[in-house]
Chain A
Amino acid sequence: MTENKDKSDLLATHFKALRDRAEGPDEALLARVLADADAVQAATAAATAQRARAPDENLLARFLGVMDGWPAAAGLVTAGVAGLWIGVSDPGGLVTSSQDMLFSQGTTNLSLDSDPALEFLELDGGL
């Protein structure tokens, strides 16, 4: 028991000696560590700024990717413009009432007599 206590005391004395001896970092090491910190912060800030600039570019790239490139996108735009024109233009020449469209068993008559220029389109046919 006494021997164990002696050993324990011996160790405690040594542990204290090593604990008290801690040598702090010199100025050069401090400077290196701080330089590393600054570099990491600068890199993070640059990456964040890059991501902030890029969202519109990214959105355009994704749109073109879905549309399979500029030609398809141009076609979509054209169709959209045409649809808009049709929607806002004067609808004269088109069938405006469902009563003008007659469907009966055995025959199909399509009357477009609201526009004289289209009289030749009167159709007869059996279904």
Chain B
Amino acid sequence: MPFDDLDSTPAEALLERFASGDPTASRILTTRLLPRVLAHAQRLLGHPAEAEDVAQEAMLRLWKIAPDWRQGEAKVTTWLYRVTGNLCIDRLRRRGGVGLDEVPELEDERPGPADGMQAKARADALQTALTHLPARQAQAVILRHIEELGNPEIAEIMDISVEAVESLVARGKRSLAEKLAGQREALGYQE
């Protein structure tokens, strides 16, 4: 099959090709999926090195489950979000909660934020605030408002009801809004 055809092939079909021994399938799946997995882990953990470890482990589990993957059931992306989330939450629980000084300092060298640095400052502030939420609230908020998934898919990823997703997202957003409102004044965000 030509490379460009494979490029538009659904991930589930590529996984089946991988299980059959096709070496190009893993290249395409990695290019397509690893960035999303890594970004999701970064947002949940707030720690780049740990996020890389989690992303590699999540992809390894995908390679191993390929022969047993049942077509027509879950989506590969849904499965990967669940595995990545579970790996991250395990690490967060082992950490036993994160204080501000345990999340690596993110560089911000310029004194007054220009537009680009303003966005960076907001991203940093949100990332820090997320690490202080209960893990499941942070996961629900990230899936809903960063990954931009629908509540039914989030419910499947987190193995809870849609109502539970809505509740977690609402509580998480309330906490984030309070934290960020206070930081906005302190950091002089320009709206």
Residue positions of A touching B, CB distance < 8 A: 7-8, 10-15, 17-25, 29-30, 32-34, 36-38, 40-41, 44-45
A17–B35 contact, CB under 8 A?
Answer: no
Kindly identify which residue among A11, A15, A21, A25 contacts B38, using a CB–CB cutoff of 8 Å.
A25
A18–B18 contact, CB under 8 A?
Answer: no
Stretch in B74-82, B156-164, B175-183 with 4+ CB within 8 Å of A: B175-183
CA distance A1 to B15 in the complex (A): 49
Name A's interface SS. Answer: helix
Q: Give 8 CB contacts A-B under 8 Å.
A: A14-B122, A18-B127, A19-B146, A21-B119, A24-B35, A24-B39, A25-B34, A38-B23
* A19 shortest CB reach to chain B, Å: 5
B38–A41 contact, CB under 8 A?
Answer: no
Interface residues as binary, B15-49 with A (CB distance below 8 Å gives 1, 0 otherwise) = 00011010100110110001100110011000010
Minimum CB distance partner of B27 in chain A? A34
Kindly identify which residue among A8, A13, A29 contacts B122, using a CB–CB cutoff of 8 Å.
A13
B145–A37 contact, CB under 8 A?
Answer: no
Name B's interface SS. Answer: helix
* A18 shortest CB reach to chain B, Å: 4
CA distance A41 to B67 in the complex (A): 10
CA distance A33 to B126 in the complex (A): 29
A36–B60 contact, CB under 8 A?
Answer: yes
A14–B180 contact, CB under 8 A?
Answer: yes
A11–B145 contact, CB under 8 A?
Answer: yes
Q: Using Cβ atoms and an 8 Å threshold, which residues of chain A touch B136?
A: none
Q: Does B55 contact A (CB under 8 A)?
A: yes
Minimum CB distance partner of A12 in chain B? B145
- With most chain B CB atoms within 10 A of its CB, the pick from A11, A12, A18, A38 is A18
A20–B59 contact, CB under 8 A?
Answer: no
Kindly identify which residue among B38, B119, B123 contacts A29, using a CB–CB cutoff of 8 Å.
B38
Kindly identify which residue among B26, B60, B120 contacts A41, using a CB–CB cutoff of 8 Å.
B26
CA distance A14 to B56 in the complex (A): 28
CA distance A11 to B179 in the complex (A): 10
Extra contacts, 9 of them, besides A17-B119, A25-B34 (Cβ < 8 A), are A10-B177, A13-B122, A14-B126, A17-B126, A18-B43, A18-B146, A21-B120, A36-B56, A36-B59
Residues 136-151 (chain B) with a chain A CB within 8 angstroms: 145-146, 148
Q: Using Cβ atoms and an 8 Å threshold, which residues of chain B touch A13?
A: 122, 191
* B150 shortest CB reach to chain A, Å: 16
Q: Using Cβ atoms and an 8 Å threshold, which residues of chain B touch A12?
A: 145
Kindly identify which residue among A14, A29, A40 contacts B63, using a CB–CB cutoff of 8 Å.
A40
B63–A7 contact, CB under 8 A?
Answer: no
A15–B126 contact, CB under 8 A?
Answer: yes
- With most chain B CB atoms within 10 A of its CB, the pick from A7, A11, A23, A38 is A11
